[in-house]
């Protein structure tokens, strides 16, 4: 039987912002002045972050996760494939998940097909290929017209998977990316192709397209209230409509953890990094203060009908994760889970129990958190939380999804 | 005034009509009929006093269907041509504001003989070095979750004017209005979000093809389309006698000073 898969996600935040950043700047995204970038202070920063991920691999995490963002202080990996390439050389067993390459930002999707194929060969078949259309900030950074971003995205992704699975050269008669000669060298190691993950925030379009193709749906929400379980129910239904069955490894979720020796010391140790992350990194993204660019009328990527529905079912100015004003509010969002090993285990156990999601993508490094405490938190998680979570999840997944084993075996045989 | 949905090239198109006389085609912008409200503003009513005003909604706006292949301003021009054919209108006065002004200019350089006169109010469409067209999309993201002052400041003389607050209120306005604003942003995202940003670098060198009388009107404090664009249009259009500047008005000069702007247009049309 298969336990929940525990991944370590590194966002690679910029940790050297001035203490009064929040008072002085409107956003940590797109327009955040890059005069604040301190190259001298940042010497060795990428190495520190790569070392933390290499540690996660040695600690037995099932995989390492990277993502792509541009012109922001939240994540310093505009090219996650570069970091993934470095990881192929310093890790040996965990999956390397790039979640994902932002397809509408590429002039030619084949560049992504080629780089993932290289990474799959370099990692001996450990790549999980994530693809995303890019959020609101990327719209502004890279001039992706929101209204056509989904169409660009799915054409690119279908072309990439076809290029991996069908012998070339062939001609792609696409609307946005017509190509005479599709013929990538190399092709990936994994057959028929590396697993494909696609993030979404419960919009029906993405759920349907993932279900049609059998891709893993990664719920990009950072908070985990009842909506997480609802997303799973929604996906279960959509999968059924497309002749597939839900099981926990068809979905992933994102959360953050800090594990201390006990609850009190955990909070004391991580609080600075947590608030730095909430107030600075999320400003412009998941915080109403300033100007958030992630969702709204200025990034009109959802169809008009869906926008009307959103207006009819929501209130203006609802609080976002980064609006938490105190620790209690933060705890309620069930996004950043802080405590001693027992507390963290109990809360994740409940989350798995309620959501029935099998891929847990966990951020350990938050904001300006020091290397020392980040590594200690990861070590405590790996030794004192992960074994219990694996045992518990194996049991409940086996009880609730008795046919999953056969399905996964069948999928494996097909490969 | 009548609002109806007609069919043009197999697609539904929402049209507002008012008045009698020679046809006048009105192409809308953001702070405008179809852009935020379903009904004509006093400015449009004034135009309809001596003309048959016909104001179609752009693709995806108001009652007009969005369609899949919409990608460039060229598509919006052809949409308008299809509407004109469906209504069997051959020759017409053409008035456009903002993005609608851009579409009007692009149409006029292609079909100069069909256009009896061309009026542009705060029109996008030109590239003017050093005077970029404002980023209406970023301003449409509210500050602090609910505040649209920056968007109002871009579209009007003053963010706190009564009209600006009525049309683009903080928090949430009527759902139908909110949807119309969204539709206009979505339409504009297709044709004007990625470079070129609401402009066509070739347009300036084509303006001389417009042979009809032309009128160019600009709000003194247009913060979406800098007034340099007005001067460039006025210079490029051979039938234009010079830029008319509306003092104390912003980008939506026709809504902010309806009598004055309608007066200028009315005088121009009767000349």
DSSP string across A165-213: HS-S-EEE--SS--EEEE--SS--SSSS---EEEEESS-HHHHHHHHHH
Check B179 against A288: CB less than 8 A apart.
no
- Lookup result for tokens 């032309």: B214
Instruction: State whether the Cα torsion A387-A390-A396-A399 is positive or negative.
Output: negative
The predicted pLDDT at position B128 comes to: 98
A26-52: per-residue pLDDT in tens?
Answer: 999 999 999 999 999 999 999 999 999
Q: Which among A143, A147, A315 is the nearest to B186, CB-wise?
A: A147
Angstrom distances, CA of residue A177 to CA of A109, A153, A159, A181, B164 = 8, 11, 9, 12, 42
Residue A10: is its pLDDT beyond 70? yes
Q: How far is B185 from chain A (nearest CA, A)?
A: 7
Residue B5 in contact with partner chain A when CB distance is under 8 A? no
Check B138 against A144: CB less than 8 A apart.
no
Cα B1 versus chain centre, distance: 19
Q: What is the pLDDT along chain B (271 residues), one digit of tens a residue?
A: 999 999 999 999 999 999 999 999 999 999 999 999 999 999 999 999 999 999 999 999 999 999 888 999 999 999 999 999 999 999 999 999 999 999 999 999 999 999 999 999 999 999 999 999 999 999 999 999 999 999 999 999 999 999 999 999 999 999 999 999 999 999 999 999 988 899 999 999 999 999 999 999 999 999 999 999 999 999 999 999 999 999 999 999 999 999 999 999 999 999 8
CB burial of B77-104 (b: ≥16 within 10 Å; e: otherwise) equals bbbbbbbbebbebeebbbbbbbbbbbbb
Mean pLDDT along residues A198-212: 94
Q: Within 10 A of B175 (CB to CB), how many other CB atoms are there? A: 12
Backbone angles phi, psi at A142, to 5 degrees: -120, 15
**Which residues in A lie closer than 8 A to residue B58 (C-beta atoms)?**
none
**Tell me, what's the ipTM?**
0.95
Chain A: which residues have CB within 8 Å of chain B? Answer: 26, 136, 139-140, 143-148, 288-293, 296-300, 303-304, 307-308, 311-312, 315-318, 320
Mean pLDDT along residues A136-159: 93
Q: How far is A18 from chain B (nearest CA, A)?
A: 22
Cα B108 versus chain centre, distance: 14
Check B138 against A316: CB less than 8 A apart.
no
Mean pLDDT along residues A280-298: 95
Check B178 against A288: CB less than 8 A apart.
no
Number of CB pairs, chain A paired with chain B, less than 8 A apart: 94
Q: Which of A227-231, A275-279, A370-374, B94-98 has the lowest mean pLDDT?
A: A227-231
The predicted pLDDT at position A412 comes to: 60
Question: What is the rounded CA–CA span in Å between residue B175 and residue B180?
Answer: 9
> Could you tell me the pTM of the whole model?
0.95
Is-contact B136 B36, C-beta < 8 A?
no
Residue B96's beta-bridge partner residues?
A: B27, B120
Residue in chain B lying closest to A291 (CA): B143
Q: What percentage of chain A exceeds 90 in pLDDT?
A: 92
- Lookup result for tokens 């009064």: A20
Task: Take residue A74 and report the two structure tokens written for it.
Answer: 């939240």
**Which residues in A lie closer than 8 A to residue B185 (C-beta atoms)?**
297-298, 300
**Which residues in A lie closer than 8 A to residue B199 (C-beta atoms)?**
none
Instruction: State whether the Cα torsion B134-B137-B138-B139 is positive or negative.
Output: positive
A238-275: per-residue pLDDT in tens?
Answer: 999 999 999 999 999 999 999 999 999 999 999 999 99
**Which residues in B lie closer than 8 A to residue A307 (C-beta atoms)?**
179, 182
**Which residues in B lie closer than 8 A to residue A104 (C-beta atoms)?**
none
- Which carries the bigger pLDDT value, residue A145 or residue A412? A145
Q: How far is B51 from chain A (nearest CA, A)?
A: 33
Q: What percentage of chain A exceeds 70 in pLDDT?
A: 99
Q: Residue A374: which of A255, A275, A257 has the closest Cα?
A: A257
Residues 6 or more apart whose Cβ sits within 8 Å of residue A61: A6, A7, A8, A94, A382, A386
Residue A394: is its pLDDT beyond 60? yes
Question: What is the rounded CA–CA span in Å between residue A206 and residue A290?
Answer: 29
The predicted pLDDT at position A415 comes to: 40
Question: What is the rounded CA–CA span in Å between residue A242 and residue A235?
Answer: 11
Question: Which candidate in B67, B189, B190, B192 is best for mutational testing of the A interface (most A CBs within 10 A)?
Answer: B189
Residue in chain A lying closest to B171 (CA): A316
**Which residues in A lie closer than 8 A to residue B145 (C-beta atoms)?**
288, 292, 316-318, 320
Q: How far is A161 from chain B (nearest CA, A)?
A: 24
By DSSP bridging, strand A170-172 and strand A179-182 are antiparallel
**Which residues in A lie closer than 8 A to residue B149 (C-beta atoms)?**
none
Q: Within 10 A of A240 (CB to CB), how many other CB atoms are there? A: 12
Three-state secondary structure readout of A7-72: EEECCCCCCCCCCCHHHHCCCCECCCCHHHCCCCCCCCHHHHHHHHHHHHHHCCCCEEEECCCCCE
Residue B132 in contact with partner chain A when CB distance is under 8 A? no
DSSP class of residue B169? -
The predicted pLDDT at position A317 comes to: 85
Q: Which among B71, B145, B186 is the nearest to A300, CB-wise?
A: B186
Instruction: State whether the Cα torsion A118-A119-A124-A130 is positive or negative.
Output: negative
Residues 6 or more apart whose Cβ sits within 8 Å of residue B248: B157, B220, B256, B257
Residue B183 in contact with partner chain A when CB distance is under 8 A? yes
Q: How far is A332 from chain B (nearest CA, A)?
A: 21
CB burial of A98-108 (b: ≥16 within 10 Å; e: otherwise) equals bbbbbbbbbee
**Which residues in A lie closer than 8 A to residue B66 (C-beta atoms)?**
303-304
């Amino acid at each position: 039987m298969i336990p929940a898969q525990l991944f370590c996600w590194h966002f690679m935040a910029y940790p050297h912002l001035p203490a009064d950043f929040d008072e002085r700047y409107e956003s940590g995204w797109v327009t955040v002045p890059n005069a604040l970038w301190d190259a001298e202070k940042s010497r060795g920063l990428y190495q520190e972050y790569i070392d933390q991920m290499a540690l996660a691999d040695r600690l037995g995490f099932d995989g390492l996760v990277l993502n792509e963002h541009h012109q922001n202080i939240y994540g310093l990996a505009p090219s996650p494939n570069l970091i993934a390439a470095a990881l192929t050389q310093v890790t040996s067993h965990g999956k390397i998940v790039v979640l994902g390459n932002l397809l509408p930002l590429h002039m030619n999707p084949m560049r992504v097909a080629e780089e993932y194929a290289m990474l799959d060969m370099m990692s001996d078949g450990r790549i999980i290929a994530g693809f995303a259309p890019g959020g609101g900030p990327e719209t502004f950074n890279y001039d992706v017209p929101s209204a056509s971003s989904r169409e660009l995205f799915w054409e690119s992704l279908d072309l990439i998977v076809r290029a991996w699975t069908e012998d070339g050269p062939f001609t792609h008669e696409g609307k946005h990316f017509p190509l005479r000669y599709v013929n990538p060298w190399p092709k990936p190691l994994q057959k028929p192709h590396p697993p494909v993950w696609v993030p979404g925030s419960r919009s029906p379009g993405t759920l349907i397209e993932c279900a049609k193709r059998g891709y893993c749906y990664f719920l990009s929400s950072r908070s985990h209230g009842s909506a997480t379980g609802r997303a799973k129910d929604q996906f279960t239904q959509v999968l059924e409509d497309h002749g597939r069955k839900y099981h926990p490894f068809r979905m992933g979720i994102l959360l953050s953890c800090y594990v201390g020796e006990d609850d009190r010391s955990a909070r004391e140790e991580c609080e600075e990094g947590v608030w730095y992350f909430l107030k600075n990194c999320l400003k412009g993204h998941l915080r109403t203060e300033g100007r958030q660019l992630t969702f709204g009328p200025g990034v009109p990527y959802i169809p008009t009908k869906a926008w009307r529905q959103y207006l009819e079912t929501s209130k203006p100015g609802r609080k976002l994760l980064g609006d938490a004003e105190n620790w209690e509010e933060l705890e309620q969002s069930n996004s950043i889970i802080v405590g001693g090993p027992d507390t963290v285990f109990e809360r994740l156990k409940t989350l798995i129990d309620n959501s029935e999601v099998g891929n847990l993508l966990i951020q350990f490094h938050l904001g300006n958190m020091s290397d020392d405490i980040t590594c200690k938190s990861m070590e405590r998680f790996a030794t004192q939380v992960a074994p219990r979570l694996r045992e518990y999840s194996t049991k409940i997944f086996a009880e609730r999804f008795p046919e999953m084993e056969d399905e996964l075996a069948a999928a494996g045989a097909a490969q | 005034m009548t609002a109806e949905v007609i069919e043009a090239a197999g697609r539904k198109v929402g049209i507002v009509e008012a008045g009698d006389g020679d046809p006048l085609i009105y192409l809308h912008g953001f702070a405008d009929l179809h852009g935020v409200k379903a009904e004509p503003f006093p400015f449009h009513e004034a135009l309809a006093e001596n003309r048959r005003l016909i104001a179609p909604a752009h693709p995806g706006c108001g009652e007009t269907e969005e369609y899949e292949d919409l990608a460039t301003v060229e598509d919006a021009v052809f949409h308008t041509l299809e509407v004109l054919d469906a209504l069997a209108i051959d020759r017409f006065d053409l008035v456009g504001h903002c993005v609608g002004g851009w579409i009007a200019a692009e149409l006029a350089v292609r079909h100069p003989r069909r256009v009896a006169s061309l009026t542009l109010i705060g029109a996008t469409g030109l590239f003017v070095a050093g005077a970029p067209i404002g980023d209406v999309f970023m301003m449409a993201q509210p500050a602090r979750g609910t505040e649209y002052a920056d968007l109002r400041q871009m579209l009007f003389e003053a963010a706190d004017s009564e009209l600006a607050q009525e049309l683009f209120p903080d928090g949430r306005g009527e759902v139908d209005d909110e949807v119309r604003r969204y539709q206009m942003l979505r339409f504009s995202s297709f044709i004007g979000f990625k470079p070129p940003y609401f402009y066509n670098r070739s347009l300036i060198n084509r303006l001389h093809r417009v042979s009809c009388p032309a009128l160019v009107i600009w709000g003194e404090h247009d913060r979406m389309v800098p007034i340099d664009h007005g001067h460039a249009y006025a210079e490029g259009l051979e039938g234009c006698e010079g830029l008319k500047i509306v003092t104390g008005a912003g980008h939506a000069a026709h809504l902010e000073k309806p009598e004055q702007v309608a007066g200028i247009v009315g005088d121009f049309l009767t000349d």
